[in-house]
Amino acid sequence: MSPGVTIKTVAQAVGVSPSTVSNAYNKPDQLSAAMRERILAKAKELGYAGPDASARALRSGKVGAVGVLFTDKLAYAFSDPYAVGFLAGLAEVAEEFTTSLLLMPLSSTDIQGGANAVQQAAIDAAAIFCVAGGHPALDTLKNRGIPMVSTDRGDHPDLSWVAIDELEAAAKLGKHLARLGHRDLVVLVDNTEAAGSQPVELTLDEVGYTDCELRIRGLQKEMPDARIRLVSGGHNAFSSGLTAAEWVLDSQDRPTAIVGLSDVLALGAMEAMKTRGLVPGKDLTVAGFDDVPAAESAGLSTVRQPIRDKGRAVGRVLLDPATTERQITMPTELIVRSSSGPAPRN
């Protein structure tokens, strides 16, 4: 932009008001095509690039961006198939409302730093995706008065969320495994350690994520007499499932079934079985959650949830004035494939 050229300069040169010049950029339907072309041509001639976006945001109180908060590294949003599907659905709706997405990974080691980043973020609303309950960033959003929609259910009537009934979804899988005679399970969960870390056994209190806790409780609901152990090999990634399953399979106390609380963890477990000559569904059952695209080709039994539709629904609740429902429960379905079979007899 040429020095000293402002919206008033263009208005004077064309012989119209500054608001008319502004409409040429922001509300073109308010002007005739000929008038708009005349204004834009004169602006180009004078070296005027258009109204300042920052100043416009200050006047309107809107910046045209939705923050997407998740607890993991930025690469997770582009590598995890569940995250990719969710964000694709959310992006469809954001694009419809000419809104951008600001990806905001919250470090598991610098909790206060994440809260500070949220405090300074230029966003109009927030999608809360895979964030542990009680994270101070959530209080920061609330204190700023920023509307937010979570992918975890909440009991308070003022909360907005789009989620599945995690407990009942897991109960469907638990009932399936119980019918197959399984009484000894290892559940693969994710934690905040690097992918493929040294496996550790956890208690339910150490899991930390509401959705994971509910899925474990759903399994327990239908399998009250089963032994259920929780093992983690790092954050949600194929290599974490592989490492954790290798540790489980190489132990003398091998279960009859392994359940990944995500498909990527379960797919890692299937790879660990393959390298040991074990056949999923015959030698040991493997099951997962989500039904990501790779689950079908792998023959993985899993609990399907509408991943992309969940992202769309979050976008609608955040951006579409026509969407009045603030708490939406999405459907789930048990998908039985070849990776699940009867418990082997000892």
Residues across the chain: 346
| Packing angle of the helix pair 210-222, 166-179 (nearest 10 deg) | 40
* pLDDT value for 3: 56
Distance between CA atoms of residues 153 and 224, nearest Å: 24
Distance between CA atoms of residues 231 and 164, nearest Å: 24
- Range with top average pLDDT, 9-23, 134-148, 157-171: 157-171
What are the pLDDT digits (tens) for 53-112?
Answer: 544 444 445 788 999 998 877 788 888 999 999 999 999 999 999 999 999 998 777 777
* pLDDT value for 174: 98
* pLDDT value for 346: 61
What are the pLDDT digits (tens) for 182-213?
Answer: 999 999 999 888 899 999 999 999 997 888 99
Beta strands in the chain (DSSP E): 65-70, 100-105, 125-128, 148-150, 161-164, 184-189, 200-202, 227-232, 257-260, 285-290, 301-304, 327-330, 333-335
| Packing angle of the helix pair 111-120, 136-144 (nearest 10 deg) | 20
Q: What is the mean pLDDT of residues 275-286?
A: 97
* pLDDT value for 22: 83
- If you write DSSP's letter for every residue of 146-179 in order, what string do you get? --EEESS--SSTT--EEEE-HHHHHHHHHHHHHH
21, 130, 142, 153, 167 from 171: Cα distances, Å: 61, 21, 33, 17, 6
The residue ranking higher by pLDDT, 267 or 107, is 267
What are the pLDDT digits (tens) for 30-61?
Answer: 889 899 899 989 888 888 877 655 444 444 45
Least confident of 67-71, 306-310, 337-341: 67-71
Question: For residue 194, how far is the Cα from the chain centroid?
Answer: 19
First to last CA, the chain: 79
* pLDDT value for 28: 77
Question: For residue 130, how far is the Cα from the chain centroid?
Answer: 6
How many CB atoms neighbour CB 330 within 10 A? Answer: 16
**172: pLDDT strictly greater than 90:** yes
Which residues neighbour 278 within 8 Å (Cβ) at sequence distance 6 or greater? Answer: 249, 284
* pLDDT value for 297: 97
Whether the model pTM is above 0.75: yes
The residue ranking higher by pLDDT, 28 or 305, is 305
Amino acid present at 244: A
80 φ/ψ angles, rounded to the nearest 5 degrees: -80, 125
Beta-sheet strand order (sheet of 333-335): 200-202, 227-232, 184-189, 257-260, 285-290, 301-304, 333-335
Q: What is the mean pLDDT of residues 222-226?
A: 96
* pLDDT value for 2: 54
45, 85, 121, 152 from 78: Cα distances, Å: 42, 10, 21, 21
* pLDDT value for 57: 47
Q: Average model confidence (pLDDT) for the chain?
A: 90
**For the chain, what percentages of helix, strand and coil (3-state, to nearest 5) are there?**
45, 20, 40
C-alpha torsion sign, points 313, 317, 321, 323:
positive
The answer to whether 159 and 150 have CB atoms below 8 angstroms apart is yes
Percent of the chain predicted with pLDDT > 90: 65
Q: What are the structural domains of the chain?
A: 7-51 (1.10.260.40), 65-164+308-330 (3.40.50.2300), 166-305 (3.40.50.2300)
What are the pLDDT digits (tens) for 105-162?
Answer: 987 777 778 888 888 888 999 999 988 777 888 889 988 889 999 999 987 788 899 9
With 0-12 CB in 10 A as exposed, 13-18 as middle and 19+ as buried, what is 168?
middle
* pLDDT value for 61: 53
Identify the CA nearest to 235 among candidates 273, 188, 304, 203.
188
* pLDDT value for 253: 92
* pLDDT value for 54: 45
Alpha helices in 27-165 (DSSP H): 33-46, 53-60, 76-79, 81-96, 111-120, 136-144
